[in-house]
Chains A and B, each alone.
Chain A
Amino acid sequence: ETGVTQSPTHLIKTRGQQVTLRCSSQSGHNTVSWYQQALGQGPQFIFQYYREEENGRGNFPPRFSGLQFPNYSSELNVNALELDDSALYLCASSPGTWTDTQYFGPGTRLTVL
Protein backbone atom coordinates (compact mmCIF):
# COMPACT_ATOMS: atom_id res chain seq x y z
CA GLU A 1 0.00 0.00 0.00
CA THR A 2 1.32 3.43 -0.95
CA GLY A 3 -0.77 5.61 1.35
CA VAL A 4 -2.34 7.35 -1.66
CA THR A 5 -6.11 7.13 -1.63
CA GLN A 6 -8.64 8.00 -4.30
CA SER A 7 -12.39 8.43 -4.29
CA PRO A 8 -14.75 7.28 -5.50
CA THR A 9 -13.68 3.80 -6.57
CA HIS A 10 -16.15 3.62 -9.42
CA LEU A 11 -18.34 6.22 -11.07
CA ILE A 12 -20.88 6.20 -13.88
CA LYS A 13 -21.78 9.41 -15.70
CA THR A 14 -23.57 10.32 -18.90
CA ARG A 15 -22.15 12.22 -21.84
CA GLY A 16 -22.06 15.98 -21.29
CA GLN A 17 -21.97 15.79 -17.50
CA GLN A 18 -19.17 16.99 -15.26
CA VAL A 19 -17.19 14.88 -12.80
CA THR A 20 -14.81 15.50 -9.89
CA LEU A 21 -12.34 12.88 -8.76
CA ARG A 22 -10.39 13.16 -5.53
CA CYS A 23 -6.94 12.12 -4.40
CA SER A 24 -5.29 12.18 -0.99
CA SER A 25 -1.51 12.19 -1.22
CA GLN A 26 0.89 10.20 0.87
CA SER A 27 1.92 12.05 4.02
CA GLY A 28 4.77 14.48 3.38
CA HIS A 29 4.24 14.58 -0.39
CA ASN A 30 3.69 18.00 -1.97
CA THR A 31 3.46 16.91 -5.60
CA VAL A 32 0.60 15.11 -7.29
CA SER A 33 0.25 13.88 -10.86
CA TRP A 34 -2.84 12.62 -12.63
CA TYR A 35 -2.92 9.96 -15.32
CA GLN A 36 -5.63 8.53 -17.56
CA GLN A 37 -5.49 4.84 -18.42
CA ALA A 38 -7.78 3.55 -21.16
CA LEU A 39 -8.54 -0.15 -21.21
CA GLY A 40 -5.56 -2.18 -22.40
CA GLN A 41 -3.19 0.78 -22.58
CA GLY A 42 -0.53 2.32 -20.39
CA PRO A 43 -1.31 5.38 -18.28
CA GLN A 44 -1.14 8.76 -20.01
CA PHE A 45 0.00 11.86 -18.14
CA ILE A 46 -2.66 14.55 -17.70
CA PHE A 47 -1.00 17.13 -15.46
CA GLN A 48 0.98 17.67 -12.30
CA TYR A 49 0.50 20.02 -9.35
CA TYR A 50 3.28 21.20 -7.09
CA ARG A 51 2.44 23.33 -4.07
CA GLU A 52 -0.99 24.21 -5.45
CA GLU A 53 0.30 25.31 -8.88
CA GLU A 54 0.09 23.39 -12.17
CA ASN A 55 3.63 22.30 -12.97
CA GLY A 56 3.29 20.43 -16.24
CA ARG A 57 0.55 19.25 -18.57
CA GLY A 58 0.16 16.45 -21.07
CA ASN A 59 -1.83 16.47 -24.29
CA PHE A 60 -5.28 16.87 -22.77
CA PRO A 61 -7.89 19.56 -23.57
CA PRO A 62 -8.74 22.38 -21.15
CA ARG A 63 -11.92 20.63 -20.02
CA PHE A 64 -9.57 18.56 -17.90
CA SER A 65 -8.64 20.76 -14.96
CA GLY A 66 -7.30 20.29 -11.49
CA LEU A 67 -6.79 21.72 -8.06
CA GLN A 68 -4.37 21.08 -5.26
CA PHE A 69 -5.24 22.16 -1.76
CA PRO A 70 -2.99 23.44 1.06
CA ASN A 71 -2.99 19.95 2.59
CA TYR A 72 -1.76 18.69 -0.82
CA SER A 73 -4.88 16.69 -1.55
CA SER A 74 -6.03 17.11 -5.12
CA GLU A 75 -9.02 17.08 -7.45
CA LEU A 76 -9.36 16.26 -11.12
CA ASN A 77 -12.33 17.86 -12.83
CA VAL A 78 -13.58 16.87 -16.25
CA ASN A 79 -16.28 18.93 -17.96
CA ALA A 80 -18.51 18.01 -20.88
CA LEU A 81 -17.78 14.31 -20.57
CA GLU A 82 -17.29 12.31 -23.74
CA LEU A 83 -17.57 8.57 -24.24
CA ASP A 84 -13.77 8.36 -24.75
CA ASP A 85 -13.25 9.72 -21.25
CA SER A 86 -14.18 6.30 -19.92
CA ALA A 87 -10.99 5.12 -18.25
CA LEU A 88 -9.15 4.45 -15.03
CA TYR A 89 -7.94 7.72 -13.53
CA LEU A 90 -4.81 7.42 -11.42
CA CYS A 91 -3.17 9.90 -9.15
CA ALA A 92 0.41 9.63 -8.00
CA SER A 93 2.16 11.58 -5.29
CA SER A 94 5.82 12.27 -4.68
CA PRO A 95 7.79 14.33 -2.15
CA GLY A 96 8.89 16.79 -4.82
CA THR A 97 9.05 17.41 -8.53
CA TRP A 98 12.64 16.29 -8.61
CA THR A 99 12.20 12.86 -7.08
CA ASP A 100 12.57 9.61 -8.91
CA THR A 101 9.65 7.64 -7.56
CA GLN A 102 5.93 8.27 -7.82
CA TYR A 103 3.47 6.48 -5.57
CA PHE A 104 0.21 5.62 -7.23
CA GLY A 105 -3.24 5.27 -5.78
CA PRO A 106 -5.63 2.48 -6.79
CA GLY A 107 -7.48 4.67 -9.27
CA THR A 108 -11.06 5.69 -10.00
CA ARG A 109 -12.86 3.78 -12.75
CA LEU A 110 -15.02 6.25 -14.71
CA THR A 111 -17.63 4.99 -17.14
CA VAL A 112 -19.33 7.48 -19.46
CA LEU A 113 -22.56 6.31 -21.06
Chain B
Amino acid sequence: DAKTTQPTSMDCAEGRAANLPCNHSTISGNEYVYWYRQIHSQGPQYIIHGLKNNETNEMASLIITEDRKSSTLILPHATLRDTAVYYCIVRVANNAGNMLTFGGGTRLMVKP
Protein backbone atom coordinates (compact mmCIF):
# COMPACT_ATOMS: atom_id res chain seq x y z
CA ASP B 1 0.00 0.00 0.00
CA ALA B 2 1.23 3.51 -0.88
CA LYS B 3 2.44 5.82 1.87
CA THR B 4 0.68 9.02 2.76
CA THR B 5 1.82 12.35 4.18
CA GLN B 6 -0.42 14.48 6.36
CA PRO B 7 0.16 17.56 8.50
CA THR B 8 0.65 16.67 12.14
CA SER B 9 -2.00 19.05 13.42
CA MET B 10 -4.56 21.63 12.31
CA ASP B 11 -7.00 24.01 13.97
CA CYS B 12 -10.45 24.97 12.74
CA ALA B 13 -13.08 27.36 14.06
CA GLU B 14 -16.40 25.83 14.99
CA GLY B 15 -18.94 26.19 12.17
CA ARG B 16 -16.29 26.68 9.51
CA ALA B 17 -15.18 24.14 6.93
CA ALA B 18 -12.23 21.95 7.90
CA ASN B 19 -10.01 21.01 4.96
CA LEU B 20 -7.58 18.21 5.71
CA PRO B 21 -4.94 17.54 3.04
CA CYS B 22 -3.20 14.29 2.25
CA ASN B 23 -0.36 13.59 -0.17
CA HIS B 24 -0.07 10.16 -1.75
CA SER B 25 2.26 10.74 -4.69
CA THR B 26 3.09 7.03 -5.15
CA ILE B 27 -0.50 5.84 -5.33
CA SER B 28 -1.18 3.07 -7.82
CA GLY B 29 -4.04 2.93 -10.27
CA ASN B 30 -5.92 0.32 -8.29
CA GLU B 31 -5.51 1.95 -4.88
CA TYR B 32 -8.33 3.80 -3.18
CA VAL B 33 -8.09 6.71 -0.76
CA TYR B 34 -9.76 6.06 2.60
CA TRP B 35 -10.33 8.36 5.54
CA TYR B 36 -10.87 7.25 9.10
CA ARG B 37 -10.95 9.32 12.25
CA GLN B 38 -10.31 8.48 15.88
CA ILE B 39 -11.92 10.48 18.61
CA HIS B 40 -10.07 10.35 21.91
CA SER B 41 -10.42 7.02 23.73
CA GLN B 42 -12.47 5.45 20.94
CA GLY B 43 -11.73 3.11 18.05
CA PRO B 44 -11.23 4.51 14.53
CA GLN B 45 -14.37 5.36 12.59
CA TYR B 46 -14.76 5.09 8.82
CA ILE B 47 -15.58 8.39 7.11
CA ILE B 48 -15.38 8.05 3.34
CA HIS B 49 -13.36 6.56 0.49
CA GLY B 50 -12.89 7.12 -3.24
CA LEU B 51 -10.89 6.08 -6.29
CA LYS B 52 -10.73 9.09 -8.59
CA ASN B 53 -14.08 10.84 -8.52
CA ASN B 54 -15.06 13.24 -5.77
CA GLU B 55 -17.26 11.64 -3.16
CA THR B 56 -19.73 13.02 -0.64
CA ASN B 57 -21.67 11.44 2.18
CA GLU B 58 -23.45 12.64 5.30
CA MET B 59 -20.18 13.10 7.15
CA ALA B 60 -17.78 14.65 4.66
CA SER B 61 -16.63 15.27 1.10
CA LEU B 62 -13.52 13.82 -0.50
CA ILE B 63 -11.79 15.72 -3.26
CA ILE B 64 -9.13 13.80 -5.22
CA THR B 65 -6.88 15.65 -7.65
CA GLU B 66 -6.93 14.62 -11.28
CA ASP B 67 -3.46 13.04 -11.06
CA ARG B 68 -4.59 11.30 -7.84
CA LYS B 69 -1.40 12.30 -6.03
CA SER B 70 -3.24 14.20 -3.33
CA SER B 71 -6.65 14.55 -1.78
CA THR B 72 -8.57 16.71 0.66
CA LEU B 73 -11.15 15.68 3.21
CA ILE B 74 -13.70 18.41 3.83
CA LEU B 75 -15.88 18.65 6.90
CA PRO B 76 -18.30 21.37 5.74
CA HIS B 77 -19.38 22.72 9.14
CA ALA B 78 -16.99 21.53 11.82
CA THR B 79 -18.31 21.05 15.34
CA LEU B 80 -16.48 20.50 18.61
CA ARG B 81 -17.31 16.79 18.29
CA ASP B 82 -15.20 16.64 15.13
CA THR B 83 -12.05 17.11 17.21
CA ALA B 84 -10.12 13.92 16.48
CA VAL B 85 -7.13 12.40 14.71
CA TYR B 86 -7.87 11.97 11.01
CA TYR B 87 -6.09 9.23 9.09
CA CYS B 88 -5.66 9.16 5.33
CA ILE B 89 -4.99 5.63 4.05
CA VAL B 90 -4.44 4.34 0.54
CA ARG B 91 -4.99 0.69 -0.16
CA VAL B 92 -6.12 -1.74 -2.78
CA ALA B 93 -9.78 -2.57 -2.45
CA ASN B 94 -10.55 -6.25 -2.08
CA ASN B 95 -7.02 -7.00 -0.93
CA ALA B 96 -6.51 -10.26 0.87
CA GLY B 97 -6.15 -9.61 4.54
CA ASN B 98 -8.08 -6.37 4.27
CA MET B 99 -5.61 -4.63 6.55
CA LEU B 100 -5.48 -0.90 7.05
CA THR B 101 -2.04 0.72 7.26
CA PHE B 102 -2.33 3.77 9.50
CA GLY B 103 0.21 6.57 9.56
CA GLY B 104 0.43 9.30 12.15
CA GLY B 105 -2.67 11.17 11.00
CA THR B 106 -3.67 14.80 11.46
CA ARG B 107 -4.83 15.95 14.86
CA LEU B 108 -7.74 18.33 14.16
CA MET B 109 -8.70 20.68 16.95
CA VAL B 110 -12.04 22.44 16.47
CA LYS B 111 -12.18 25.57 18.60
CA PRO B 112 -15.22 27.56 19.74
Contact = CB atoms under 8 A, between A and B. Distances in A.
Contacts of A31: 98
A8 B33 CA distance: 33
B54 interface: no
A104 interface: yes
A99 B98 CA distance: 8
Q: Is the interface of B mostly helix, strand, loop or mixed?
A: loop
A103 B46 contact: yes
B104 A41 contact: yes
A48 B101 CA distance: 13
Given A43-B44, A100-B93, A103-B46, A56 B98 contact: yes
Contacts of B43: 2, 4, 90, 92, 104-107
Q: How large is the interface on B (under 10, 10 to 19, 20 to 34, 35 or more residues)?
A: 20 to 34
Nearest to B47: A101
B96 A104 contact: no
Contact of A56 (B34, B85, B97, B105): B97
B10 interface: no
A48 B49 CA distance: 21
A33 B32 contact: no
Interface of A: 2, 4, 31, 33, 35, 41-45, 48, 55-58, 90, 92, 94, 97-107
Interface of B: 32, 34, 41-46, 49, 85, 87, 93-94, 96-105
Closest 10 pairs (CB-CB, A-B): A56-B97, A104-B43, A42-B102, A45-B99, A98-B94, A101-B46, A97-B98, A43-B102, A104-B44, A90-B43
